[in-house]
A and B are shown apart, each in its own frame.
Chain A
Amino acid sequence: MEHQHSAMSSEISIPHHHYSDADFRKRVRKTTILLSVITVIELAIGLTIYTIHKGPDPSHLLVLMFKGVVCILTLAKAYYIVSVFMHLGDEIRNMIMTIVVPLLLFVWFILAFIVDGNSYKNLRNKYDSHFRETTMPKEHHEKPATEEPKPGKQ
């Protein structure tokens, strides 16, 4: 035991809080159930999207909404894995910030690149009629014609 302390004390000022066996079991069980339940909900939403797509008149707004919900659920899962399983939640605040603050770059990263992809699609649909005619799904065929005046109005 003494050996164990001398091995760590040079760097670690405050020994990490170790949960008692009962507390630890409870915490792990709770997190496992939470992750499983979220995954089951995600799968249910995935199958719901599938049935909406198969239906006669798929509502794209509804599908988009369900996809948004799945994204939020995934972020919740990521939070629990990092905070409980990887024990980041038990570290000191300075340490947590050096990990979390750089990850904020993802906010710009995701938004910028998705907006860029979307803009490329819109430009090609406007100026490359071959691309539009060969790749536009059937049910949308009329849409570009009715929406075309939009850019002019703005």
Chain B
Amino acid sequence: MDTTATAQQPKWWSGGKSPFNLEYGKLMMWYFLMSDAFTFGAFLISYGSIRFSQNFWADPNVVFNAFPGAGHRNLPLAFVSIMTFILIISSVTMVLAVHAGHKGDKKSVVKWLGWTIVGGVAFLSCQAWEWHHLITGLHPTLIDGKIDWVGQTTSVNPWGQLADPAAVTEALKNSSQHSLAMLVHEHNHTMSHEQLMGMPKEQLMGMVNTAELHIRKNGPVAFGGYFFGITGFHGFHVFSGVIINTVMLLMTQKDVFAKRGHYLMIEKAGLYWHFVDLVWVFVFLCFYLI
């Protein structure tokens, strides 16, 4: 509380003024954000509840270890740390936009809102890459006694426990020609996939380098639904934040706020944008760190 408030404490509840010393829209934005916090909280807590009910859960360092352009190199946490910093920085540029609004400095508002939108779009692009990589990146997985190549979806995931070599050798017999050809092709690039598909199955099984294989069983099914559901819901918030900020930018440029005499709308948009950053802090904790 600032010093003026303690010097002459007004009668907050005597009517004719806001008892919270806030204009209506900003107060309602706070209550909306509080209810949204409970929505996100409920999602994350449900995820925690399911995780605690399992003996095994996928290790985030195994799932999230890819980086655009780095091929198959193992880089746990690298990409998501960039996404986290993008959101922190875009939150800072939003603070600067709100501050410029207090001063009625239209040029600075436009500049900082612009950078905030850039940050939001960059974050969404990162998320699009990550989702695409998870869904389309196929991994050989031991499912029901045979090896299948699966990506991370809401119905199956390849992040279970490492299978014993004996079970993998046994599973080779039941696996399809296509799965075997892909296994051979992983370490042996002398033949094309088509050539391998044309070979007898026994010969193909002999070519699989069982010592090199680190095949996992399929992991807990709920992992995909929670990951895509919660990061998707957060991504939707980022997306709507970008839309709101773009509208604010256009209104600033058309002098709507200058004519109104204040930039309070930017403050409300700012609250929403910071909330999106706040939620990411917890999504980052629950899915990537622990």
Contact = CB atoms under 8 A, between A and B. Distances in A.
Interface stretch (B10-18, B116-124, B200-208): B10-18
A70 B290 contact: yes
A108 to B, nearest CB: 11
A43 B79 CA distance: 11
B255 interface: no
A135 B289 contact: no
Contacts of B49: 113-114, 116-117
Interface in B40-75: 41-42, 45-46, 48-56, 59-61
A86 B22 contact: no
Interface residues of B, number: 69
Report whether over half of chain B's contact residues are helix, strand or loop; otherwise say mixed. helix
Nearest to B162: A138
Given A109-B45, A114-B52, A137-B55, A67 B290 contact: yes
A93 interface: yes
B77 A47 contact: yes
Interface in A99-138: 99, 102-103, 105-106, 109-110, 113-114, 116-118, 120-121, 124-125, 131-132, 135-138
Interface of A (DSSP majority class): helix
A34 to B, nearest CB: 10
A16 B98 CA distance: 13
Contact of B282 (A74, A82, A85, A88): A74
Given A11-B22, A67-B290, A121-B54, A53 B61 contact: yes
B91 A85 contact: yes
Interface string B257-290: 0001110100000110011011001101100111
B190 interface: no
Interface centre among A42, A118, A136, A138 (most CB of B within 10 A): A42
Contacts of B261: 3-4, 7
Interface residues of A, number: 68
B81 A39 contact: yes
30 contacts: A4-B104, A4-B262, A14-B4, A16-B2, A28-B99, A36-B85, A42-B289, A43-B77, A46-B289, A49-B290, A50-B76, A67-B289, A70-B290, A74-B284, A78-B281, A81-B281, A86-B278, A92-B1, A92-B5, A95-B27, A103-B34, A109-B45, A110-B45, A110-B48, A113-B49, A114-B52, A117-B50, A120-B53, A121-B54, A132-B55
